[in-house]
Each structure stands twice: as C-alpha cells, then as structure tokens.
A and B are shown apart, each in its own frame.
Chain A
C-alpha cells in the first residue's frame, strides 16, 4: 500500500487510516500572487467513494482538483493521493493528431495496445469509432473517449472536472448514467467538480459545498440508487444545497 500512495509536498503520513482513505488532505492552502484561494483545507475521501464538489465559480474547487491531479505543486500543507489516478476535463482534451484508440492508450507503458483501447472504448459504448480522427467525433462521443482514456489506467482515484458541462441536456443525462455505471464497475473513488446541484445529488455519496477556499458544508446523500430527482427526499436535499449555495428559488424550474 505504501508504494501505491503519493505524498505531495510533505512527509509520509503517519496515519493508520491510509488503507481506508483514498485521499487525505491536511491543512492545504494555495495562493495565487498573494490572493489565497484555498484556506487550510482538510478533506478525506474513502476508497471507492463518490464525492461531488459544488461551489460558485472561483471558489477554489478546480484548484483543489488540479492539486489532487498533481498538476499544481506550489501548495502548503499535505496531500496524500493514490499514485494511480487519472482525470477527465470539461473539454475532452484529445490529441487531434492521434486516432481515437491511440488517444485512449496514450502514456501507457509499452507499445500502444489496440486490444486494450478497444476494450475501454467498448465499455463507454463507442468501440466502432476507434480508428477515426478526434475531429469527427461529436461532443458526447469525445467525452466518452476522454472517460475511456481515464479508466483504461484502472485508477484508484478518478478526478472529473465538470465533464458534462459542455454537453447538451440529453447527452449529459446519458453520459451521467454511464459514469454511474462505470463507477460501480470499477469501484474507484471519484471526485466530481460541478456546479449542477442535481447532477451532484444524482451521482454522489457525499456532496461538499466550497466557499471562500474552505469546505463550507457537507451533505451525505443516503438516497437509494438509481436516484429519482422527483422524490420528496431528493427535492428536500436539493433545496438544502441551493440554500447553502445562496440560490433562492423565485422562479419555477431549475435555478441557474
């Protein structure tokens, strides 16, 4: 277990709960040019737990995700994450000059493994697009490839940065469903950054609301899966989250 865990900027965690927690964050802070974005933040994510991170733009949620991804190391405090982790972003970020299947296995050791790529693409439902250029994919298809690329690495922690944000409503629903299935099959921990309250409640075990660089609120979602966003329990939880986010519902329909 010690080998599969990275400690970012700090000493080995003396904690005995390493085996239970996939992510441990202690006293994390991050400042950009003197402007503090993360304030002394503590957070644990258990193995296989699906955590959604909500918050207004600029609250620091994407910064936190980038730090967990290892893309930002100018931090204070200590972050312990699994060595095997991967990410999918709001834009699919596929390399346009590599065929779809080569994108999926990009960066894996050894020769590009076509069979492995096709298995991963099959899992996200677009095996037949393996040999095309990324430019020919629709937005939803490209996002599926991006998920396949993240999952083919068998991550213990999957970081999702608003992966459904740029999709149309119908496609978004289908890809959300796909993520729920993939999570149950792979059993990895997921941290999903989003600003969609319903998406967070549909998918996550636990919803965190960030404000001012801290975890301001925390909500454990006990609803049975698959979840129905019309049940009274769901509506109650949604109202509470919206209240925490400072959104008051003055209009019928989904608040922005």
Chain B
C-alpha cells in the first residue's frame, strides 16, 4: 500500500484525463445552519420509541386488530391496576412476592458472602469451594425446581430456596473475583505500614472487592426477581405469580400484562437503588465515567 504513488492510488487512469485534472483544492462546506435549527431534546428522542409502541398497542386494541384474547388493551391494564389496588389484591401480592424475594436474597447473599470470603482469603478455601462452585454453576438452577419440591414441599421454602440459589452465584463469583484482583502492591505497602491480617482485610481487601461486589449485587437482584417468577408459577397461594397463574385460567390477559409490568418495575427499582448506592460508595474511583 505504502509503495503506491498517491496519484495512482487516488485516481484511476481513465478519470485522470488531461482536460479534467484532479482538483488541487477542495472546499469544505460547513454543516452548521445559519438560521435556528429545530432540535429535539435527547430525552424526548429516547422516550419516542417506547411511547410509540404503547400508542401502537393502544390503537391496534381500540380498532380491534389486536383481539383481547391475545393481548388486553393498555386501558384495560390500567383499569385493572386501579381496581386490584383498590381491593388490596395487588398490594398484597407485591408484599408476598417482595417478602420471598427479600428473604431469599438475604439467605443467598449471606451464603455468597461467607463462601467468597473463605475462597478469596484462604488458599484452602479456594481449593475446596471454588471448584465446587464452578461445578454447581454448570447446573441450570431453574431445572432444580422439581428437586426442590421433592425436598421442601410446595410451601414457601422451595420458592425462597430458588431465589437464594439464583442470588448466590453472581454474588459469589463477583466478590471472589474482586478479592483476588486486589493489588498485591497495596497489600505489601499496607503490611509495611503495620496492618495485621484483620486490618488488611478491612482496609485493603474488602474495599478493593467492593466495585466487583456491587456489580454482583446488580446481577443478583435481577436474578432474584427472575427466580421468583419461575418459583411462583408452582403452587403459589399468594403473590404476583399466583395472580398471574389465576389470570391465565380465566384468560385475563390484562392481569397477566399488569403482573409482568409490576415485575419489571420492581426490577428497575432495585437496579436504580444499586446504582445510587454504587455512586455513593465508589466516589474514590478515578475511572472513566463516560463522555458528556
């Protein structure tokens, strides 16, 4: 490439006719308009897609193109939301599901934290725990539902256990990875400054594992809601999943869509909370924070 002369590289011979020589100068025309330009704010552009889809949904339902047996119209979904909130069914279901998610998350998080600390801090722990976790990770946890029902029955326990299991893996791997990515130079310097084993863990190892742990927390919370959706499909007598499977029996697509929307909103709320938490806890970081 570099051996080619610029003239032959730029212009094929036939266009380089002597009567029309290549222009020696080019004029660069600006794209900036002199007058006022119509600019749409970014937030409007970003929301245009979802709003348009809802509008399309509304229009197709209103005109009967989309039958109610396939998907209820957005108006019906909102009506159902109001009705079920007023008679207390929806808040009750959210409370029941939230309780399962919270208990399952706490159990899973405690297990993940203890295992990742043992595996991260001690070589013996790593040898024993990490390989086992890698092995269990290969089992699709949703596939354990039948086994959990055999073990724990059909009450609350299998649902909480499934959430706990789904939470454990992402937290474990991220905290363990965070502990092991601690800068050995910082450990050395801190040891030189007189920190003992506990001091090292408190001031060096755990803080450096924190960014990874927060990433794990985001995964874990979204997994918790996902696990709940699966778990509540089986023999629930309360909760969002119960509401959904009940609605399925009566072909109430409006309630099903409402429950899906509530799941999504709860997931988004958790994600938002973790992002706020990350911003507060990681102010010390000097990482790339995205361009304005």
Contact = CB atoms under 8 A, between A and B. Distances in A.
B191 interface: yes
A224 B78 CA distance: 88
A98 B285 CA distance: 11
B288 to A, nearest CB: 12
Contacts of B285: 96, 135
A89 interface: yes
User: Nearest 10 pairs between A and B by C-beta?
Assistant: A135-B286, A107-B193, A107-B194, A93-B189, A97-B207, A107-B195, A97-B284, A133-B284, A96-B284, A87-B192
Contacts of B208: 97
B67 to A, nearest CB: 57
B188 interface: yes
A86 interface: yes
Interface of A: 69-71, 86-87, 89, 91, 93, 95-98, 106-109, 133-135, 149, 153
Nearest to A66: B188
B136 interface: no
Given A95-B207, A135-B284, A108 B186 contact: no
Contacts of A135: 284-286
Q: For the complex, would chain B's binding face be called helix, strand, loop or mixed by DSSP majority?
A: helix
Nearest to B191: A71
Q: For the complex, would chain A's binding face be called helix, strand, loop or mixed by DSSP majority?
A: loop
Contact of B190 (A95, A96, A108, A153): A95
Contact of A91 (B185, B194, B284): B185
A165 to B, nearest CB: 14
B27 interface: no
B133 to A, nearest CB: 27
Contacts of A107: 190, 193-195, 199
A89 B284 contact: no
B192 A95 contact: no
Interface string B170-202: 000000000000000110111111110001000
Interface in B207-243: 207-208, 210
A71 B284 contact: no
A93 B191 CA distance: 12
Interface residues of B, number: 20
Interface in B255-292: 283-286
B204 interface: yes
B203 interface: yes
A89 B190 CA distance: 12
A161 B194 CA distance: 18
A133 B287 CA distance: 13
B188 A71 contact: yes
Nearest to A146: B189
Contacts of B199: 107
A226 B203 CA distance: 40
B195 A93 contact: no
A189 to B, nearest CB: 16
A153 B204 CA distance: 19
B181 to A, nearest CB: 14
A208 to B, nearest CB: 22
B203 A89 contact: no
Contacts of B191: 71
Contact of B189 (A89, A108, A133): A89
Given A96-B286, A135-B284, A153 B185 contact: no
Contacts of A71: 188, 191-192
B193 A86 contact: yes
A133 B283 CA distance: 9
Given A133-B286, A134-B284, A135-B285, 12 more contacts: A71-B188, A89-B189, A93-B186, A93-B188, A95-B190, A95-B203, A95-B207, A98-B203, A106-B193, A107-B194, A133-B283, A135-B284
B291 to A, nearest CB: 18
Nearest to B192: A87
A71 B192 CA distance: 7
Contacts of A95: 186, 190, 203-204, 207
Nearest to A102: B203
A69 B193 CA distance: 10
Given A91-B185, A95-B186, A135-B284, A86 B207 contact: no
Nearest to B196: A107
B284 A153 contact: no
B8 to A, nearest CB: 44
A6 to B, nearest CB: 13
